Amino acid sequence: MHSSGRSAAERGGMGWVDVVDHDATPTRVNGECVRGEEEQARHLRR
């Protein structure tokens, strides 16, 4: 989950656009991201 509190599922397929600072050199992640292990497990169980 990104520091904005929105999970990957809530962000949708293009959610990575908001998480990555494309103007930085080298490119980097904006803020703090935390893996949602439970969310990933739910996706795999489908």
Q: Has residue 1 been placed in a domain?
A: no
Position 36 scores a pLDDT of 76
Position 24 scores a pLDDT of 92
pLDDT digits (tens, 9 = 90+) for 3-32: 556 777 787 778 777 788 889 999 998 877
Q: Has residue 3 been placed in a domain?
A: no
Q: Has residue 14 been placed in a domain?
A: yes
Q: Alpha helices, DSSP H only, in the chain?
A: 8-11, 16-19, 37-45
Q: Has residue 36 been placed in a domain?
A: yes
Q: For the whole model, what pTM was predicted?
A: 0.48
Q: Has residue 2 been placed in a domain?
A: no
Q: Has residue 32 been placed in a domain?
A: yes
Number of domains within the chain? 1
Position 5 scores a pLDDT of 66
Position 15 scores a pLDDT of 76
Q: What are phi and psi of 6, to 5 degrees?
A: -95, 135
Q: Which domain holds residue 41?
A: 8-45
